[in-house]
Structure 1
Amino acid sequence: MSANFLRRVLQLLAGLFFYGFSIGMMIRAGLGVSPWDVLAQGTSLQTGIAFGLVTNLIGLVVLLLWIPLRQKPGVGTVLNVLLVGPSAEVGLAVVDEPAELWGQILLFAGGLTLLAVATGLYIGARMGPGPRDGLMTGLHARFGWPLWAVRTGIEVTVLAIGWALGGAVGLGTVAFALLIGPMVNRTVPFFHIPARAAAA
Protein backbone atom coordinates (compact mmCIF):
# COMPACT_ATOMS: atom_id res chain seq x y z
CA MET A 1 0.00 0.00 0.00
CA SER A 2 1.51 3.32 -1.09
CA ALA A 3 1.74 6.32 1.20
CA ASN A 4 -0.57 8.33 -1.06
CA PHE A 5 -3.23 5.61 -1.10
CA LEU A 6 -3.07 5.37 2.69
CA ARG A 7 -3.46 9.14 2.86
CA ARG A 8 -6.54 8.96 0.65
CA VAL A 9 -8.14 6.25 2.79
CA LEU A 10 -7.43 8.06 6.06
CA GLN A 11 -8.64 11.37 4.63
CA LEU A 12 -11.83 9.70 3.40
CA LEU A 13 -12.56 8.03 6.74
CA ALA A 14 -11.81 11.20 8.70
CA GLY A 15 -14.03 13.24 6.42
CA LEU A 16 -16.96 10.86 6.74
CA PHE A 17 -16.65 10.68 10.52
CA PHE A 18 -16.48 14.45 10.89
CA TYR A 19 -19.37 14.86 8.46
CA GLY A 20 -21.68 12.75 10.59
CA PHE A 21 -20.37 14.25 13.83
CA SER A 22 -21.07 17.75 12.52
CA ILE A 23 -24.68 16.78 11.78
CA GLY A 24 -25.03 15.74 15.42
CA MET A 25 -23.61 19.10 16.50
CA MET A 26 -26.09 21.07 14.40
CA ILE A 27 -29.03 18.99 15.59
CA ARG A 28 -28.00 19.60 19.22
CA ALA A 29 -27.76 23.34 18.49
CA GLY A 30 -31.54 23.33 18.00
CA LEU A 31 -31.62 26.19 15.50
CA GLY A 32 -33.04 24.29 12.52
CA VAL A 33 -32.19 21.25 10.42
CA SER A 34 -30.33 21.19 7.12
CA PRO A 35 -32.26 21.73 3.86
CA TRP A 36 -32.15 18.02 2.96
CA ASP A 37 -33.68 17.15 6.33
CA VAL A 38 -36.35 19.82 5.81
CA LEU A 39 -37.19 18.10 2.51
CA ALA A 40 -37.34 14.70 4.19
CA GLN A 41 -39.56 16.03 6.97
CA GLY A 42 -41.95 17.68 4.53
CA THR A 43 -42.14 14.61 2.32
CA SER A 44 -42.77 12.44 5.36
CA LEU A 45 -45.61 14.71 6.49
CA GLN A 46 -47.25 14.67 3.06
CA THR A 47 -46.89 10.93 2.38
CA GLY A 48 -47.03 9.37 5.86
CA ILE A 49 -43.80 7.49 5.13
CA ALA A 50 -41.33 7.31 8.01
CA PHE A 51 -38.61 9.99 8.04
CA GLY A 52 -35.75 7.48 7.83
CA LEU A 53 -37.21 5.71 4.83
CA VAL A 54 -37.91 9.02 3.10
CA THR A 55 -34.27 9.98 3.62
CA ASN A 56 -33.15 6.73 1.97
CA LEU A 57 -35.55 7.21 -0.95
CA ILE A 58 -34.33 10.76 -1.50
CA GLY A 59 -30.76 9.45 -1.56
CA LEU A 60 -31.78 6.89 -4.19
CA VAL A 61 -33.40 9.57 -6.34
CA VAL A 62 -30.26 11.69 -6.07
CA LEU A 63 -28.15 8.73 -7.19
CA LEU A 64 -30.40 8.29 -10.22
CA LEU A 65 -29.70 11.92 -11.12
CA TRP A 66 -26.04 10.93 -11.45
CA ILE A 67 -26.83 8.98 -14.63
CA PRO A 68 -27.26 11.92 -17.05
CA LEU A 69 -24.30 13.64 -15.37
CA ARG A 70 -22.13 10.57 -16.05
CA GLN A 71 -21.15 10.25 -12.40
CA LYS A 72 -20.02 6.87 -11.08
CA PRO A 73 -20.23 5.82 -7.42
CA GLY A 74 -17.01 4.86 -5.71
CA VAL A 75 -15.87 3.34 -2.45
CA GLY A 76 -16.42 6.69 -0.79
CA THR A 77 -20.01 6.75 -1.98
CA VAL A 78 -20.74 3.40 -0.33
CA LEU A 79 -18.86 4.28 2.86
CA ASN A 80 -20.78 7.55 3.02
CA VAL A 81 -24.00 5.59 3.40
CA LEU A 82 -22.47 3.24 5.96
CA LEU A 83 -20.49 5.61 8.20
CA VAL A 84 -22.20 9.00 8.33
CA GLY A 85 -25.21 7.74 10.29
CA PRO A 86 -23.21 6.05 13.08
CA SER A 87 -20.84 9.02 13.40
CA ALA A 88 -23.85 11.34 13.68
CA GLU A 89 -25.03 9.16 16.57
CA VAL A 90 -21.62 9.62 18.21
CA GLY A 91 -22.07 13.39 17.92
CA LEU A 92 -25.54 13.21 19.43
CA ALA A 93 -24.23 11.05 22.27
CA VAL A 94 -21.33 13.28 23.32
CA VAL A 95 -22.66 16.79 22.54
CA ASP A 96 -25.19 18.37 24.88
CA GLU A 97 -27.76 20.97 23.83
CA PRO A 98 -26.64 24.41 25.05
CA ALA A 99 -28.89 26.18 27.54
CA GLU A 100 -28.20 29.68 26.19
CA LEU A 101 -28.78 31.11 22.71
CA TRP A 102 -25.17 32.19 22.32
CA GLY A 103 -24.10 28.62 22.99
CA GLN A 104 -26.54 27.32 20.39
CA ILE A 105 -25.17 29.77 17.82
CA LEU A 106 -21.56 28.82 18.54
CA LEU A 107 -22.36 25.11 18.39
CA PHE A 108 -24.20 25.48 15.09
CA ALA A 109 -21.38 27.58 13.61
CA GLY A 110 -18.85 24.99 14.72
CA GLY A 111 -20.92 22.18 13.21
CA LEU A 112 -21.34 24.02 9.94
CA THR A 113 -17.62 24.74 9.72
CA LEU A 114 -16.76 21.13 10.53
CA LEU A 115 -19.19 19.89 7.87
CA ALA A 116 -17.56 22.09 5.23
CA VAL A 117 -14.10 20.80 6.21
CA ALA A 118 -15.38 17.21 6.23
CA THR A 119 -16.85 17.65 2.76
CA GLY A 120 -13.51 18.89 1.46
CA LEU A 121 -11.72 15.96 3.09
CA TYR A 122 -13.76 13.12 1.67
CA ILE A 123 -14.33 14.65 -1.77
CA GLY A 124 -10.64 15.56 -1.94
CA ALA A 125 -9.69 11.94 -1.27
CA ARG A 126 -10.94 11.13 -4.79
CA MET A 127 -12.62 7.88 -3.76
CA GLY A 128 -16.17 8.85 -4.66
CA PRO A 129 -18.42 11.58 -3.28
CA GLY A 130 -21.60 11.06 -1.29
CA PRO A 131 -24.89 11.01 -3.23
CA ARG A 132 -25.69 14.69 -2.68
CA ASP A 133 -22.13 15.91 -3.13
CA GLY A 134 -21.85 13.77 -6.28
CA LEU A 135 -24.76 15.74 -7.67
CA MET A 136 -22.89 18.96 -6.87
CA THR A 137 -19.58 17.88 -8.42
CA GLY A 138 -21.38 16.32 -11.40
CA LEU A 139 -23.16 19.57 -12.24
CA HIS A 140 -19.89 21.45 -11.78
CA ALA A 141 -18.01 19.10 -14.12
CA ARG A 142 -20.77 18.93 -16.73
CA PHE A 143 -21.63 22.63 -16.99
CA GLY A 144 -18.60 24.39 -15.52
CA TRP A 145 -20.63 26.26 -12.92
CA PRO A 146 -18.70 27.32 -9.78
CA LEU A 147 -18.91 24.83 -6.92
CA TRP A 148 -20.28 27.46 -4.54
CA ALA A 149 -23.07 28.39 -6.96
CA VAL A 150 -24.03 24.76 -7.59
CA ARG A 151 -24.07 23.83 -3.90
CA THR A 152 -25.97 26.95 -2.87
CA GLY A 153 -28.49 26.48 -5.68
CA ILE A 154 -29.13 22.86 -4.69
CA GLU A 155 -29.51 23.68 -1.00
CA VAL A 156 -31.86 26.63 -1.58
CA THR A 157 -34.02 24.60 -4.00
CA VAL A 158 -34.28 21.65 -1.60
CA LEU A 159 -35.07 24.01 1.26
CA ALA A 160 -37.86 25.73 -0.67
CA ILE A 161 -39.51 22.45 -1.65
CA GLY A 162 -39.22 21.03 1.87
CA TRP A 163 -40.66 24.20 3.42
CA ALA A 164 -43.57 24.16 0.99
CA LEU A 165 -44.27 20.55 2.03
CA GLY A 166 -44.33 21.50 5.71
CA GLY A 167 -40.78 20.73 6.87
CA ALA A 168 -39.38 22.55 9.91
CA VAL A 169 -37.28 25.59 9.05
CA GLY A 170 -35.20 27.66 11.49
CA LEU A 171 -32.55 30.36 11.34
CA GLY A 172 -29.90 27.64 11.24
CA THR A 173 -31.53 26.17 8.15
CA VAL A 174 -31.29 29.46 6.32
CA ALA A 175 -27.69 29.96 7.43
CA PHE A 176 -26.80 26.46 6.23
CA ALA A 177 -28.40 26.99 2.82
CA LEU A 178 -26.66 30.32 2.23
CA LEU A 179 -23.23 29.61 3.70
CA ILE A 180 -22.37 25.99 2.90
CA GLY A 181 -21.73 26.70 -0.80
CA PRO A 182 -19.06 29.38 -0.34
CA MET A 183 -17.47 27.38 2.50
CA VAL A 184 -17.22 24.17 0.45
CA ASN A 185 -15.82 26.21 -2.44
CA ARG A 186 -12.82 26.84 -0.17
CA THR A 187 -12.40 23.44 1.44
CA VAL A 188 -12.73 21.15 -1.60
CA PRO A 189 -9.76 22.66 -3.50
CA PHE A 190 -7.73 22.92 -0.28
CA PHE A 191 -7.97 19.19 0.53
CA HIS A 192 -7.93 17.97 -3.09
CA ILE A 193 -5.35 15.26 -3.77
CA PRO A 194 -4.03 15.73 -7.34
CA ALA A 195 -4.72 12.96 -9.83
CA ARG A 196 -1.06 12.02 -10.18
CA ALA A 197 -0.63 11.77 -6.40
CA ALA A 198 -3.92 9.86 -6.09
CA ALA A 199 -2.72 7.29 -8.62
CA ALA A 200 0.63 6.78 -6.89
Structure 2
Amino acid sequence: MTRRIPQLLIGLFLYGIGIALMVRGEIGVAPWDVLSLGIDKHTHLGFGLITVLLSGVVLLLWIPIRQRLGVGTVLNALLVGPSAAVGLALIPAGQDLWLRIIFFAVGLLVVGIATGLYIGAHFGPGPRDGLMTGLHRRTGLKIWIVRTAIEVTVLGIGWALGGNVGIGTEMAHAPRDSPRLG
Protein backbone atom coordinates (compact mmCIF):
# COMPACT_ATOMS: atom_id res chain seq x y z
CA MET A 1 0.00 0.00 0.00
CA THR A 2 2.82 2.44 0.80
CA ARG A 3 4.20 2.02 -2.73
CA ARG A 4 0.81 2.13 -4.43
CA ILE A 5 -0.29 5.55 -3.18
CA PRO A 6 2.80 7.44 -4.48
CA GLN A 7 2.56 5.38 -7.67
CA LEU A 8 -1.04 6.54 -8.13
CA LEU A 9 -0.24 10.19 -7.41
CA ILE A 10 2.85 10.25 -9.65
CA GLY A 11 0.89 8.52 -12.42
CA LEU A 12 -1.93 11.05 -12.24
CA PHE A 13 0.46 14.01 -12.15
CA LEU A 14 2.43 12.69 -15.12
CA TYR A 15 -0.81 12.03 -16.96
CA GLY A 16 -1.70 15.71 -16.76
CA ILE A 17 1.79 16.72 -17.86
CA GLY A 18 1.56 14.33 -20.82
CA ILE A 19 -1.79 15.81 -21.82
CA ALA A 20 -0.31 19.32 -21.59
CA LEU A 21 2.55 18.30 -23.87
CA MET A 22 0.10 16.93 -26.43
CA VAL A 23 -2.05 20.06 -26.22
CA ARG A 24 1.05 22.21 -26.80
CA GLY A 25 1.87 19.95 -29.76
CA GLU A 26 -1.15 21.54 -31.45
CA ILE A 27 -1.60 18.61 -33.86
CA GLY A 28 -4.71 17.12 -32.25
CA VAL A 29 -5.53 15.59 -28.89
CA ALA A 30 -7.61 12.73 -27.50
CA PRO A 31 -11.42 13.04 -27.82
CA TRP A 32 -12.08 14.09 -24.21
CA ASP A 33 -9.34 16.72 -24.48
CA VAL A 34 -10.89 18.00 -27.74
CA LEU A 35 -14.07 18.52 -25.73
CA SER A 36 -12.21 20.32 -22.92
CA LEU A 37 -10.46 22.58 -25.44
CA GLY A 38 -13.73 23.31 -27.21
CA ILE A 39 -15.50 24.22 -23.99
CA ASP A 40 -12.53 26.36 -22.92
CA LYS A 41 -12.67 28.24 -26.21
CA HIS A 42 -16.15 29.47 -25.24
CA THR A 43 -15.94 29.75 -21.45
CA HIS A 44 -12.28 30.65 -20.84
CA LEU A 45 -12.41 28.70 -17.57
CA GLY A 46 -9.11 27.00 -18.33
CA PHE A 47 -8.37 23.53 -19.64
CA GLY A 48 -7.54 22.12 -16.20
CA LEU A 49 -10.71 23.31 -14.50
CA ILE A 50 -12.86 22.13 -17.41
CA THR A 51 -11.20 18.72 -17.23
CA VAL A 52 -12.12 18.50 -13.54
CA LEU A 53 -15.68 19.68 -14.19
CA LEU A 54 -16.15 17.17 -17.01
CA SER A 55 -14.91 14.43 -14.69
CA GLY A 56 -17.57 15.50 -12.21
CA VAL A 57 -20.28 15.33 -14.87
CA VAL A 58 -19.06 11.90 -15.94
CA LEU A 59 -19.15 10.70 -12.33
CA LEU A 60 -22.76 11.88 -12.07
CA LEU A 61 -23.50 9.63 -15.07
CA TRP A 62 -22.21 6.72 -12.99
CA ILE A 63 -25.20 6.99 -10.62
CA PRO A 64 -27.89 5.51 -12.89
CA ILE A 65 -25.57 2.75 -14.11
CA ARG A 66 -24.58 1.92 -10.51
CA GLN A 67 -20.86 2.06 -11.21
CA ARG A 68 -18.65 1.96 -8.11
CA LEU A 69 -15.82 4.38 -7.68
CA GLY A 70 -12.52 3.95 -5.94
CA VAL A 71 -10.01 6.30 -4.38
CA GLY A 72 -8.18 6.38 -7.71
CA THR A 73 -11.40 7.41 -9.45
CA VAL A 74 -11.84 10.44 -7.23
CA LEU A 75 -8.17 11.40 -7.33
CA ASN A 76 -8.15 11.05 -11.11
CA ALA A 77 -11.13 13.41 -11.34
CA LEU A 78 -9.46 15.95 -9.06
CA LEU A 79 -5.77 15.80 -10.03
CA VAL A 80 -5.33 15.25 -13.78
CA GLY A 81 -6.82 18.65 -14.69
CA PRO A 82 -4.67 20.69 -12.29
CA SER A 83 -1.52 18.86 -13.33
CA ALA A 84 -2.40 19.54 -16.98
CA ALA A 85 -2.86 23.22 -16.04
CA VAL A 86 0.62 23.23 -14.47
CA GLY A 87 2.05 21.70 -17.63
CA LEU A 88 0.25 24.21 -19.84
CA ALA A 89 1.62 27.06 -17.72
CA LEU A 90 5.18 25.75 -18.06
CA ILE A 91 5.22 24.59 -21.68
CA PRO A 92 5.22 27.42 -24.21
CA ALA A 93 2.56 27.52 -26.92
CA GLY A 94 2.98 28.43 -30.58
CA GLN A 95 6.31 26.73 -31.26
CA ASP A 96 7.70 25.64 -34.63
CA LEU A 97 6.15 22.50 -36.08
CA TRP A 98 9.20 20.31 -35.42
CA LEU A 99 9.13 21.21 -31.72
CA ARG A 100 5.35 20.72 -31.52
CA ILE A 101 5.77 17.23 -32.98
CA ILE A 102 8.36 16.50 -30.29
CA PHE A 103 6.01 17.86 -27.60
CA PHE A 104 3.26 15.59 -28.87
CA ALA A 105 5.47 12.50 -29.11
CA VAL A 106 6.94 13.03 -25.64
CA GLY A 107 3.44 13.69 -24.30
CA LEU A 108 2.18 10.43 -25.77
CA LEU A 109 5.11 8.56 -24.19
CA VAL A 110 4.53 10.25 -20.81
CA VAL A 111 0.80 9.41 -20.97
CA GLY A 112 1.69 5.78 -21.67
CA ILE A 113 4.04 5.60 -18.69
CA ALA A 114 1.58 7.48 -16.48
CA THR A 115 -1.23 5.14 -17.48
CA GLY A 116 0.87 2.15 -16.47
CA LEU A 117 1.64 3.72 -13.10
CA TYR A 118 -1.95 4.76 -12.45
CA ILE A 119 -3.57 1.50 -13.50
CA GLY A 120 -0.86 -0.54 -11.81
CA ALA A 121 -1.72 1.09 -8.48
CA HIS A 122 -5.14 -0.69 -8.57
CA PHE A 123 -7.30 2.03 -7.03
CA GLY A 124 -10.26 1.85 -9.42
CA PRO A 125 -11.10 3.10 -12.90
CA GLY A 126 -10.93 6.71 -13.89
CA PRO A 127 -14.19 8.53 -14.54
CA ARG A 128 -14.26 8.14 -18.32
CA ASP A 129 -13.38 4.48 -18.47
CA GLY A 130 -15.67 3.69 -15.56
CA LEU A 131 -18.47 5.21 -17.63
CA MET A 132 -17.46 3.00 -20.54
CA THR A 133 -17.24 -0.22 -18.53
CA GLY A 134 -20.40 0.61 -16.58
CA LEU A 135 -22.39 1.19 -19.78
CA HIS A 136 -20.94 -2.02 -21.21
CA ARG A 137 -22.03 -3.95 -18.12
CA ARG A 138 -25.53 -2.40 -18.02
CA THR A 139 -26.32 -2.54 -21.75
CA GLY A 140 -24.55 -5.74 -22.74
CA LEU A 141 -23.08 -3.97 -25.78
CA LYS A 142 -19.55 -4.85 -26.79
CA ILE A 143 -16.99 -2.66 -25.05
CA TRP A 144 -15.61 -1.34 -28.34
CA ILE A 145 -19.09 -0.20 -29.37
CA VAL A 146 -19.65 1.63 -26.09
CA ARG A 147 -16.21 3.25 -26.16
CA THR A 148 -16.55 4.26 -29.80
CA ALA A 149 -20.00 5.77 -29.20
CA ILE A 150 -18.80 7.77 -26.21
CA GLU A 151 -15.65 9.03 -27.89
CA VAL A 152 -17.31 9.87 -31.22
CA THR A 153 -19.92 11.84 -29.26
CA VAL A 154 -17.44 13.84 -27.17
CA LEU A 155 -15.14 14.32 -30.17
CA GLY A 156 -18.01 15.64 -32.29
CA ILE A 157 -19.18 18.03 -29.60
CA GLY A 158 -15.62 19.19 -28.91
CA TRP A 159 -14.90 19.69 -32.60
CA ALA A 160 -18.16 21.63 -33.08
CA LEU A 161 -17.05 23.87 -30.19
CA GLY A 162 -13.66 24.47 -31.83
CA GLY A 163 -11.49 21.88 -30.06
CA ASN A 164 -8.23 20.83 -31.69
CA VAL A 165 -8.78 17.80 -33.94
CA GLY A 166 -5.87 16.66 -36.07
CA ILE A 167 -3.52 13.82 -36.89
CA GLY A 168 -2.65 13.63 -33.20
CA THR A 169 -6.28 12.90 -32.32
CA GLU A 170 -6.00 9.40 -33.74
CA MET A 171 -2.60 8.80 -32.13
CA ALA A 172 -3.83 10.11 -28.78
CA HIS A 173 -6.85 7.80 -28.80
CA ALA A 174 -5.36 5.75 -25.96
CA PRO A 175 -7.49 5.37 -22.85
CA ARG A 176 -7.17 8.20 -20.38
CA ASP A 177 -7.91 6.21 -17.33
CA SER A 178 -8.31 2.56 -18.21
CA PRO A 179 -9.60 0.38 -15.44
CA ARG A 180 -8.16 -2.88 -14.35
CA LEU A 181 -10.22 -5.19 -16.55
CA GLY A 182 -8.76 -8.51 -15.47
Which bin holds the TM-score, normalised by the shorter protein? 0.7 to 0.9
One-letter code aligned to 2:104: F
Q: Which one of the candidate residues 72, 76, 79 is aligned to 2:68?
A: 72
Structure number with the higher helix fraction is 1
Gaps of 5+ in 2: none
Aligned-residue offset at 1:151: 4.2
Gaps of 5+ in 1: 195-200
Confirm or deny that 1:9 pairs with 2:5: yes
Corresponding residue SS for 2:172: helix
Corresponding residue SS for 2:142: coil
1:1-200 equivalences under 5 Å are: 5-43=1-39, 49-52=43-46, 55-96=51-92, 99-142=95-138, 143=140, 145-146=142-143, 150-177=146-173, 180-181=174-175
In the alignment of these two chains, the number of paired residues is 179
Q: Quick one: distance in 1 between partners of 2:111 and 2:159?
A: 22
Identity of aligned residues (%): 58
Q: What TM-score does the superposition give when structure 2 sets the normalisation length? A: 0.73
Aligned-residue offset at 1:153: 4.4
Larger Rg: 1
Corresponding residue SS for 1:71: coil
Q: Is residue 140–residue 150 contact of structure 1 (8 Å, CA) maintained in 2?
A: yes
Q: Write out per-residue CA displacement over residues 12-41 of structure 1, whole angstroms, 9 at most, x where no aligned residue.
A: 112101111101211221223432233234
Q: Is residue 124–residue 193 contact of structure 1 (8 Å, CA) maintained in 2?
A: no
One-letter code aligned to 1:155: E
1:85–1:100 distance in 2 versus 1, CA, 3 Å = same
Q: Report the RMSD for the aligned CA atoms in angstroms.
A: 3.4
Q: Write out per-residue CA displacement over residues 68-120 of structure 1, whole angstroms, 9 at most, x where no aligned residue.
A: 33222222122223322332244335545584423322321221232233233
Q: What TM-score does the superposition give when structure 1 sets the normalisation length? A: 0.68
